[in-house]
């Protein structure tokens, strides 16, 4: 199950950072099996750079 606040985050990832939907889906599946913060999972799998990870956390602070 996707946490409610991930809906806006997923939109941000797709629309602003242009992360591939398949990358997001893979990370979300991993989060279901081994719960952890989505941004960190995306980074661990190499779907986002360290700079993008910082952008994600900066964005999360504003939401």
- Residue 58 domain flag: yes
Question: Into how many domains does the chain fold?
Answer: 1
- Residue 12 domain flag: yes
Query: What average pLDDT score do residues 14-42 get?
Result: 92
- Residue 54 domain flag: yes
- Residue 29 domain flag: yes
CA neighbor of 41 nearest in space, from 10, 4, 8? 10
- Residue 23 domain flag: yes
CA neighbor of 9 nearest in space, from 60, 58, 48? 60
- Residue 25 domain flag: yes
Say yes or no to pLDDT of 6 above 90. no
Mean pLDDT of all residues belonging to the chain? 90
Residue 55 belongs to what domain range?
A: 6-62
pLDDT tens, residue by residue, 41-57: 999 999 999 999 999 99
- Residue 1 domain flag: no
- Residue 18 domain flag: yes
From its phi and psi, is residue 2 left (phi > 0), alpha (psi between -120 and 50) or beta? beta
């Amino acid at each position: 199950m996707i946490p409610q606040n991930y809906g806006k985050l997923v939109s941000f990832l797709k629309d602003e950072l242009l992360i591939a939907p398949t990358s997001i889906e893979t990370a979300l599946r991993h989060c279901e099996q081994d719960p952890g913060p989505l941004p960190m999972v995306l980074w661990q799998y190499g779907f986002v750079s360290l700079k993008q990870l910082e952008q994600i956390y900066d964005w999360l602070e504003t939401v």
